[in-house]
Structure 1
Amino acid sequence: MLDLSLFDQHVIGQDTEDPLRFAFTAKRGAHSAGGVRPVAPPQQGTVWQNITQESGATASSRQRCLYIHIPFCRVRCTFCNFFQNAASRQLVDRYFAALVSEIKLKAALPWTQAGEFHAVYVGGGTPTDLSADQIQQLGELIRSHFPLTGDCEITLEGRINRFSDETFYKALAGGFNRFSFGVQSFNTQVRRAAKRLDERETVLERLTDLSSTQLAPIVIDLLYGLPHQTLDIFEQDLQDYMATGAHGIDLYQLMVGGDAPMLNLVEKGRLPAPATTPDKASMFALGVEFFDKHHLKTLSVNHWARDNRERSQYNSLAKTYAEVLPIGCGAGGNLGGYTLMQHRQLDKYMEAMEAKQMPIAMMFSQHPLEPMFATLKSGFDAGVLRRSDYQTLGLEDAFEYLTPLFERWQNLGLVTIEPDYIVATLAGRFWSVTLAQACIEVLSHQTEKLKIA
């Protein structure tokens, strides 16, 4: 039996009359994750060789995605902790040549050709800092070198700023069929504080034009909790999204850490502090109520679609079940039971590619329970845990083992227990990553206990 007294409030939650705002102190990370063990650098090459030479049923049995990273931005957003390189034409051109080499190397691997890819995501950074011709060439390379499913979603991420008609139509010609733009907020004051380019009217007009073509789903990201972003401004952001006609939207909670410039600006009094966790919870609730009112389709706890063209395949697969083949400087992925991170330093990446070596910076062996962890992450991301998912894995005892924790959360107002289902409430949806992480920690603790015994 699960003994909840072994865990603190970071796992079991706090007794409160307002679980949406106070069930936990704060979100602990952008994504939940299980324990991993580092693979020593001398062993990484052998492990990589063993994984990628697989070409049989084992290599093709899991869903798979492709992630390609473009590590350049012309401007660093004040909330960003992932900035890598300032874009310049010469540097981008040199990088693109190396990227093409890596694409061809990895496309030729037996593992790559053993199964079809369900979704491709080109992220960054700012992929739209590539030239229009490079974007078209990249799409053509993806389509010609990788086995893709017939309905494969191929997403190009970017900024509205300088995203011209030429870029859009060449991206379509190259095979991109979904576009994701990091708007973060439409409000000009909020955007300036975040170092986002373009004013509200420019962003609105461009998104409206792109969406009206109906040539591909246009999706935007909004952050909630930014400096200057009051509830009223956030509600206007939601209304602005509806006015554009864009096909899908993600709402992401602002999390600022590391060396993000916003921290220094707030400390020096040059920016007001970002929203508190309770205030961000209020914004999330406003967003859910707004999209319910306008009858948008819920794809996950933080993603909505206006119509059936928007599926958000990469987000739902890569965060949970799918293996992800990483390509590019700073790209991360996982395959064959291992998590991989490629060199973040551009010079190290370029050196590896010039030597035709795999640019692996770090490699980790995943937890033995990773399939179960993936099921938990997927369930909480969707807002529903299904007992049948665990029976498919042969892990139904885990569902039973976690029941005391589910009962605790039901008493707190975070979930509702139904026959064979655990359904997240509004509060549970806001804390979904925290709940998934708590389940992972409980199961990891039990695994360690059994090892010791």
Structure 2
Amino acid sequence: MFVDLTPFDETILGTHTPDPLRFAFPPKKHAHAATHQMPLPLEQGIAGVTTQLLSPPVQSGPRCLYIHVPFCRVRCTYCHFFQHAASRTLIDSYFAALLKELGMKAAMPWTQAQPFEAVYVGGGTPTALSAAQLQQLGQEIRRQFWLTPDCEITLEGRINGFDDNAFEHSLAGGFNRFSFGVQSFNTQVRRAAKRLDDGDTVRERIHALSARQEATIVVDLLYGLPYQTAEIFAQDVADYLQTGANGIDLYQLVVAPNTPMLRMVEQGKMPPPATTAEKASLFAQGVSLMDQHDCRRLSVNHWARDQREQSRYNRLAKHGADILPLGCGAGGSIDGVGIMQHRDLATYLDAMQTNTMPIARVVAAVEHRRVYDAIKAGLDMGVLHADTLPPWQGMSVFQYLSPLFAVWQQHGLVTLCENKLQLTLAGQFWSVTLAQACIHVLQSL
């Protein structure tokens, strides 16, 4: 049985063009491919999640912790995740509540049944915590949760305000990986994005932290920001290489509606961000520069310079690992059931004060989710192997989708072998779109 492509348009099939890298699909709207999930009535959903956590897991598998710190000193102009401005009083109140949630969930049978392979403290800006709080958070994670001996414990944040004292306290707490959202080393580009430090300060600080060789240091760069020409982006990559950091993410700028950046563009206060075609050119440039410097590719947008960087949390999350969420605004999933915690700080604090689950939304597990997870993970790695895809309704998913793959090959997006789909450079740029197209085709049935 093969898929009938008749109902699908160019948003799924792509467009036949001499330049598929730049024009194969309409512009990307989301950073990640997603499945259509059905929200559960909240009381029912909370009861179900509570039952899961009060019981050992039905089946074993990789698992991670995600801890959210919802504070930022300023809102970046492209950001639509901003929750709360950093305030010491608010942060202290939140930190006490977060520690209470850690203790509550760490004691549950589901949590105690298996070790966690990766922990990610994200935000927001987790480095908004004080040095003492960073150390205490790391120590509490290690004390209360069963972690694998080589567990990757990541602290995300900004260079701004993250001095040697904060770094040393974080190391003392057990953090062994640091991911810094640099976005660009160019001062003009940074100012337009409302990043606080100039490029020289950030570059020198990343270099100093990397030179200490005490933890994995990773840099996030965006491509497509206002003022970011091809020459500036090439210098951004060169600056990363100069810092000696262990790994780098190159992420396409996707600006959501109603962000400060778009309002400033409309008001004539800054040039618009790059078009999709321009971002495709920057992506190709970034891939070429990484190849020239023999960086080891971990996914379509992540590279490592040495064996220290493994990007374990990102890899496990994209392969469908269970993720236990903790904190205001945290999201995760247990056995496919999606969990989103309260984004409103007052509501979260009230839940912790009353010893109730701080859950705002629960979505049902998707049928065939392991198929969708395997598709997303494979395309994120740039190659999809037929034998890594679980059966779907008693058939081979790879064979069923082969007519779609054949069209993509004609459009220059993939190279199709008997049991393997390899993304071309164009396909790598459109990897999220390709994954979303596969999921849409399967779910439409």
- The 8 Å contact of residues 368 and 392 in structure 2, kept in 1 or not, is answered as no
8 Å contact kept, 1:383–1:429: yes
Q: Secondary structure at the match of 2:444?
A: helix
Are the structure 2 counterparts of residues 139 and 347 from structure 1 closer, same or farther at C-alpha, using a change threshold of 3 Å?
same
Separation in structure 2 between the aligned mates of residue 313 and residue 27 of structure 1, nearest angstrom: 26
Match of 1:197 in 2: 196
Deviation (angstroms), 1:33: 0.9
Q: CA deviation at 1:391?
A: 5.2
Q: Is the 8 A contact 2:371 2:391 kept in 1?
A: no
Residue 34 of structure 1 contacts residue 366 of structure 1 at CA under 8 Å; is this kept in 2? no
Q: Distance in 2 between matches of 1:219 and 1:375?
A: 26
TM-score in terms of structure 1 length: 0.96
Q: Quote the Cα distance in structure 2 between the aligned partners of 1:85 and 1:289.
A: 39
Q: Is the 8 A contact 1:4 1:405 kept in 2?
A: yes
- Unaligned 5+ runs, structure 1: 447-453
How much has 1:80 moved relative to structure 2?
A: 0.4
Contact residue 387 and residue 396 of structure 1 kept, 8 A: no
Contact conserved, 2:37 with 2:364, CA < 8 A, in 1? yes
Counterpart mapping for 1:300-311 below 5 A: 300-311=299-310
Matching residue of 2:107 = 108
Displacement of 1:395 in angstroms is: 6.5
Spell out, residue by residue over 1:180-208, the C-alpha distance to the aligned partner (whole angstroms, 9 max, x if none).
00000000000000000111110111010
Q: Which residue of 1 aligns with 2:29?
A: 28
Following the alignment from structure 1 to structure 2, what is the Cα–Cα distance between the partners of residues 393 and 444? Answer: 11
- Report the equivalent of 2:345: 346
SS at match of 1:36: coil
Counterpart of 1:247 in structure 2 is 246
> 1:8 maps to what in 2?
9
- Residue correspondences, number: 444
Q: Distance in 2 between matches of 1:393 and 1:240?
A: 46
Cα distance in structure 1, aligned partners of 2:91 and 2:383 = 43
Q: Tell me the TM-score normalised to structure 2 length.
A: 0.98
Give the SS at the match of 2:219: strand
TM-superposed CA distance for 1:54, in Å, is 2.2
Q: Counterpart in 1 of 2:323?
A: 324
Q: Map 1:61-140 to 2 at 5 A.
A: 61-140=60-139
Shift of 1:420: 1.4
User: What is the CA–CA distance in structure 2 between the aligned matches of 1:239 and 1:250, rounded to whole Å?
Assistant: 14
CA 377–395 in structure 1, closer or farther in 2 if over 3 Å, else same? farther
**Per-residue CA distance 1:73-125 (angstroms, 9 max, x = gap):** 00110000000000011110000000000000111111111111111000000
Partners of 1:10 and 1:300 in 2: CA distance? 24
1:449 aligns to what? none
User: Contact 2:371–2:390 (CA<8 Å) still a contact in 1?
Assistant: no
**Aligned-partner Cα distance in 2 for 1:381–1:71:** 27
Q: Post-superposition, which runs of at least 4 consecutive aligned residues in structure 1 deviate over 4 A?
A: 391-396
Structure 1 counterpart of 2:54: 53
> What SS does the corresponding residue of 2:396 show, helix, strand or coil?
helix
Deviates more, 1:27-36 or 1:218-227: 27-36
| Cα distance in structure 1, aligned partners of 2:73 and 2:247 | 26
SS in 1 for 2:156: strand
Corresponding letter in the other structure for 1:271: M
Shift of 1:51: 1.3
Measure, in 2, the Cα distance between the counterparts of 1:355 and 1:172. 33
Superposition map of 1:421-432 within 5 A: 421-432=420-431
Quote the residue 1:407 is aligned against: 406
Distance 1:130 1:42 in 2: 33
Q: CA RMSD in A?
A: 1.2
Letter in 1 for 2:41: A
In structure 2, how many angstroms separate the alpha carbons of the residues matched to 1:393 and 1:206?
49
Deviation track 1:200-248 (CA, whole Å, cap 9, x = no partner) reads 1101110100000011110010000000001110000000000000000
